Every structure is written in structure tokens, then in C-alpha cells.
A and B are shown apart, each in its own frame.
Chain A
């Protein structure tokens, strides 16, 4: 899983049926200190996250299928699975 910050959301009218009714968030990967690390990407929301939240993002399709329980043919690869409260980095 990646730790990310939610930048905002993405709206799309034409989309694959599996994405119907789902909130698409744009997330920025972070390092352990909270600094931006890498390029932003899109994840569907499964934790009621909003802009500015630090979240956990699962980026693996099997885990997504396990969470969504929509069957085996789900073209979704990244999903927000938690909101991070605190990170403690060992000195």
C-alpha cells in the first residue's frame, strides 16, 4: 500500500460500467515524512476521504476485487482503504 494525500476528485461522464457511482480521487504519493514522492494517480474511494486527507491506497487488483465483491472481472486497480491518523518514524 502507498501512503498518499488526497488532492481532489475527478469527474467523468463517459466511463466503464464498473466505475458507475464510484468516487474517483486524485492522490499524491508521499514519503514517510509527508513529502510528495512520485506522480499523482487516480484511486476510487472506499474510506470517505476528502481533499487534504492522508490516506492508505491499495494498488493491486486482487485486493480491490476482494474489497468490492463485484466478481472477478473488475477493471479497477487502486482503491483508498484507510485514512492515516499518525505516522511515527523511528529515529
Chain B
């Protein structure tokens, strides 16, 4: 079994017998980090997944066994909608942010002392000239 993301839907009017009524979805296989791990494929949906859903699939002969009836020409089936992938060792620890949000927008009383400083500098320049 493998993870995937539903990227679209497929409609096929003429199908092999056994595929009537099957809901076909486009799926991009991904790994636990979300990296694409192969080409987009068409899978039969058994769990009412929709576009954008993070799902898991079963392939090969077992995909047909997920369908009802099970003797169908299918080789990829969506069998679950993923809520969460919990892989502690792959979790990227966000780097500590240097900027303190309280310092990003200094309060007016802290800003005001800078204004006289600039004014003094300007005064010095004019004084030199």
C-alpha cells in the first residue's frame, strides 16, 4: 500500500465490463514527506475521496479485491482517506526565529528617541557645510 494525493477525476464512457459505475480518480503517489514518488495514475475510489484528499491506495490484484464485485479489471484502488501521517524522525523541526515579533513593530516610545538622533546628525552635517 502507498500514499497518494487526489489530483483530479477521470470520466470514461466506454469501459471494460466490470468497470461500470466505478468512480475513477487521478492520484499522484507520494511518500510520507509529500514528495512525489512516481507518475500520476488512475485509481478506483472505494471511500468517497475527493480532489485534494490525502489518501492511501492498494495496488495490483488486491485493488480488485477492494471493489464490490471483486472480480473486476482494476489495479489501483483508494482504500482510505488519511487524517495524519505521524513519522517523528521525518518531522522537520522549524528553525528558531531570530526576530521577536514584539520587536518587529517597536512601540512608538522606543522609536521616538531615534528621531532626535537623526536630527542631531543632520544638524552636524549642516554645521560642517
* Chain A interface (Cβ < 8 Å from any Cβ of B): 7-16, 18-19, 24, 26, 39-44, 51-52, 61, 64, 73-78
Asked if B1 contacts A43 (CB within 8 A), the reply is yes
Inter-chain CA distance A60–B38, complex, in Å, is 20
Cα of A59 to Cα of B87 in the assembled complex, Å = 21
Which B residues form the contact surface with A (CB < 8 A)? 1-3, 31-32, 37-38, 46-49, 56, 58-63, 65-66, 70, 77, 79-90
Closest residue of chain B to A7, judged by CB? B87
Shortest CB distance B58–A (Å): 5
23 contacts between A and B (CB under 8 A): A7-B87, A7-B88, A7-B90, A8-B87, A9-B86, A10-B84, A12-B81, A14-B49, A16-B80, A18-B66, A18-B79, A19-B79, A24-B1, A26-B85, A39-B2, A41-B1, A41-B3, A44-B1, A51-B89, A52-B89, A74-B65, A76-B1, A77-B62
Chain B residues in 8 Å Cβ range of A19: 79-80
Least CB distance from B64 to A in Å reads 8
Instruction: From known contacts A14-B47, A19-B80, infer whether A76 and B3 are also in contact, taking CB-CB under 8 Å.
Output: no
